[in-house]
Amino acid sequence: MEDLPLDQVRTLLAVVDEGTFDAAAAALHVTPSAVSQRVKALEQRTGRVLLLRTRPVRPTESGEVLVRLARQVARLERDAYAELGLSSAGEPTRVSVAVNADSLATWFLGALTRVPAGLRLRFELRREDESHTAALLREGTVMAAVTSSPDAVPGCSVRRLGRMRYLPAASPEFAARYLAGPLEETLPRAPVVTFDRRDDFQDAFVRRLTRGRTGASTGRHLIPTSEGFAEAVAAGLGWGMVPETQAGPLLRAGRLTVFAPDRAADAPLYWQQWKLDSPALAAVAEAVAATAATALRS
């Protein structure tokens, strides 16, 4: 296959980012017809459909590969300009990262403060469940991610960060009211707090406890922020798996109790990033790894 024309690849990225051909044309300062012709030419060159013509436009699986390529090329171009001392080097470098809510609320922001200020980075964080952050890497939406998957996304490297520990916790009043008796019997019926409809962590805990007989109660509260989740458990709305770091102050204040101290659950975390020789990415990766080494369990 012939080389891919970069103007066509960049046009594909603009359409995906802007959502429509017209918006991409405005961003690129060309006509919508020119945008359409470039995308069509790229599809003919690759022999694949690259875009789903929905509103907004979405890339196909093949399109995601080229979108990721376009973002990587842009990243390398900015690094090259910075090293050459050309005019665009004065612009801050954007680094997009997908990170789960619990890491964002506990240790991840501390990692960003360790990145050398001289690099002049600007972070764009995408909050996503750790089991789904890898999908954003595949799509080319982000260049790095904190993920639960040890399997590297194509074109990415992976390194282990550590384990985030979760404690089965409830307020003392809630535990006295709902959890008096064998946990195998009381916990599946007790109200529970979950992060969102995709959150299976509490159900998995109950399945382990009951040897797969049942999951958590259907009477559940959905609290889609890490801080709000811990506060909802401490307020007595339900029980939940609270990150150890967040649980500590609430335990010391007597607002939480760990009702099954021998059944803490650990979630392994990994750092995945594009395989690019990028000073910006390398600096962020080192800061994240160093912070995780002290904030997470080995």
- Check residue 277 and give its pLDDT: 81
- Check residue 2 and give its pLDDT: 62
> Which phi and psi (to 5°) does residue 236 adopt?
95, 15
- Check residue 136 and give its pLDDT: 87
Residues in the chain predicted with pLDDT less than 70, given as ranges, are 1-2, 82-91
For the chain, the C-alpha Rg in angstroms (whole number) is: 23
- Check residue 130 and give its pLDDT: 85
284 in Cβ contact with 75 (< 8 Å): no
- Check residue 84 and give its pLDDT: 64
- Check residue 1 and give its pLDDT: 45
SS (H, E, C) the chain: CCCCCHHHHHHHHHHHHHCCHHHHHHHHCCCHHHHHHHHHHHHHHHCCCCEECCCCCEECHHHHHHHHHHHHHHHHHHHHHHHHCCHHHHCCEEEEEEECHHHHHHCHHHHHCCCCHHHCEEEEEEECCCCCHHHHHHHCCCCEEEECCCCCCCCEEEEEEEEEEEEEEECHHHHHHHCCCCHHHHHHHCCEEECCCCCCHHHHHHHHHCCCCCCCCCCEEECCCHHHHHHHHHCCCCEEEEEHHHHHHHHHCCCCEECCHHHCEEEEEEEEEECCCCHHHHHHHHHHHHHHHHHCEC
Closest CA to 168 of 105, 245, 262: 262
C-alpha–C-alpha distance, residues 114 and 133, integer Å: 23
> Which phi and psi (to 5°) does residue 198 adopt?
-90, -10
- Delineate the domains of the chain, giving CATH numbers in brackets: 1-84 (1.10.10.10), 164-267 (3.40.190.10)
- Check residue 103 and give its pLDDT: 97
